[in-house]
Structure 1
């Protein structure tokens, strides 16, 4: 295994990377932090008239509703939280598509609470409580990451927690408060990537170059997303939940929210590509300190081509998978392909997938070029500085 730490500790590499950090990274990170403070929503952001109380409870009995026309089941639920904790209350479980929702005795369900209503009408079925299986899956995931990657895997989990906090405490509340969704996504994305890259891969020259490539590719993704959303005349209302969000927050910029989603969706893959490319060039330089900028760039791009080919397909398939219900409806209608693609619901996913893929494609040469400039021709300094042991 090649030791790349010698590259990070190389004097010429450190000098070159300091230029990139001082000229690009520090100004961008400072700007992101300032905007983060300015845009921070502060306190809870609420939409008047939409907040509801919630409760949970275990289904202890289940029977058909007395009126057959209601097409529902009547569940007896023992509440596990809230002011009525411990009480057994009746809850109607509605039908979905003519078939009763699969609720069985012993299951825990989530309930909506209508304050002020009589006890027998106070609670409404919302959904199954999936906390336990999701928690088990999260624990398995965390164990697998740490088992494979040790301390670096633990750092990655901490970075994941930071991402979750940024999404729930800054990005979503700031957008609800009325800030530009695109600006919020860019600021939040830059902060997330800075913390994630340095926390997971350490504060060193290699990470700095990877972060610079990530931010450059992110900027290009933002520009492409904004341009093709406008050029394709996408309103964003075809996105799942967009109409409901607009109804409860009339001032919400749905088009900006669409582009913001493209940015956030591309972040994780951009991070993967840029870190991999920087690591590849570092390995090449560690193996051959005399490698020129041209040689490192050519070799790095050869590695990047293979990586991009698989990652781009993954991203496009992910967006296609999200649009499967819509595509299925169009398949049933047997519409011409061009007509299907031109509908906003499909065109939106096409733009998302292709813009994200273009950002990934751009990340490879951008990061590889930055890395090659940082570590090329290291052997000249090695020759110029005599070894004290000799």
Structure 2
């Protein structure tokens, strides 16, 4: 009788160390499976042929150099100095010709550093509008006779992006302190996994689902434990996220198969199909679905696990069921706010396409069922379903692990995590 009475006053009755051992064992088993999967799927490291649009005249990778704009003016098109290495003023075009925008650019790196080159633009749609002082990247080509020519490649964005990244890092660390710093390290690790493992493995033609699952699980282990520390709380979140990720993979495969999504409606996928024949476009699309669900799943599961442990830590005599139901009320609010955020984010990415469809006199049904839009709808649906199901799953795992000290006379206690 005394034993039963202590449980009724002490909140969730401890399930003993067995539950924690089961969760830890499951995470260790998943970790071992990830390591084995990474070893089996590790990319060969062979060099892939450079796609034609990214080749230089010799068949190698395009070489770019730094430059900055010295002057820009309207002049007849067809200057013989266009693209050439200049140490004197550029030569004007001969005869009558249409007007172009001619931009004189200083070459700031490479073998012709200190020289200049002339760029010509027709001024039509899609042409850059360069102003004096703009930093640019120039593609450098050397033909069979050894003649070097330059062309506009892109704007130089290094320093603006470095500044944005620095402000981002400073704000995150200033607000979240050491946890924010660890989260930034987790981001670096995540991009490392994508660049070192995921992309090369897909390029080698490895099966997309195992590759995406292995990469995603490795990212989750690093990100969750780095950002939130090692505890039963974060272990509950991690196990819930891994289970939800597996569900998202199954849903992604089902959505792609049932809706007959090929991915060939996107220009980048067509280029991959043309120049990297061993890469499965459907697999690439599937991997994108899985990777895209990581962030939102991680957000929800960590929040749910934290909510459960905080509620259990109040020590107010609540039962395990009451803690679960209280956390689910928070989870339902989180689902409601996150789902429309998820859908609007995908709708925003498809906004240019929707704009084109809006002036094409096509019916709404045709627009929504076209592959380009259907991909975003399927991606939103998969993410939303996995998100919704991850809440009760993670909340249940956390409720099993979270226990409280017996409530004292003032009804206080802290969760043992």
* Structure-2-length-normalised TM-score: 0.83
Displacement of 1:280 in angstroms is 0.1
Counterpart check, 1:201 vs 2:228: yes
Worse overlay, 137-146 or 231-240: 231-240
Aligned to 2:70, the other structure's residue is in SS state strand
Worse overlay, 66-75 or 346-355: 66-75
* Residue 34 (structure 2) aligns with: 32
Higher helix share: 1
Displacement of 1:52 in angstroms is 1.8
Structure 2 residues not aligned, in runs of 5+: 1-12, 56-60, 79-96, 408-417
Do the aligned partners of residues 86 and 39 (structure 1) sit closer, same or farther apart at CA in structure 2, a change above 3 Å counting? farther
Larger Rg: 2
* Residue 77 (structure 1) aligns with: 105
Aligned to 1:124, the other structure's residue is in SS state strand
Counterpart check, 1:183 vs 2:193: no
Displacement of 1:359 in angstroms is 0.9
Do the aligned partners of residues 139 and 95 (structure 1) sit closer, same or farther apart at CA in structure 2, a change above 3 Å counting? same
Do the aligned partners of residues 239 and 198 (structure 1) sit closer, same or farther apart at CA in structure 2, a change above 3 Å counting? same
Do the aligned partners of residues 130 and 324 (structure 1) sit closer, same or farther apart at CA in structure 2, a change above 3 Å counting? same
**Conserved in 2, the CA contact under 8 Å of 1:92 and 1:125?**
no
RMSD: 2.3
Question: 1:1-390 counterparts in 2 under 5 A?
Answer: 15-22=18-25, 24-41=26-43, 43=45, 45-49=47-51, 50=55, 51-64=61-74, 66-67=76-77, 72-93=100-121, 95-97=123-125, 100-116=127-143, 122-288=149-315, 290-376=317-403, 379=406
* Superimposed CA distance per residue, residues 315-352 of structure 1 (whole angstroms, 9 cap, x where no aligned partner): 11111001001111111123221111110011111000
Aligned to 1:114, the other structure's residue is in SS state strand
Instruction: Write the distance in 1 (CA, Å) between the matches of 2:147 and 2:217.
Output: 50
Aligned to 1:287, the other structure's residue is in SS state coil
Worse overlay, 219-228 or 288-297: 288-297
Number of residue-to-residue matches in the alignment: 369
Displacement of 1:379 in angstroms is 3.9
Instruction: Write the distance in 2 (CA, Å) between the matches of 1:42 and 1:106.
Output: 44
Aligned to 1:86, the other structure's residue is in SS state coil
Aligned to 2:359, the other structure's residue is in SS state helix
Aligned to 1:190, the other structure's residue is in SS state helix
**Conserved in 2, the CA contact under 8 Å of 1:56 and 1:111?**
yes
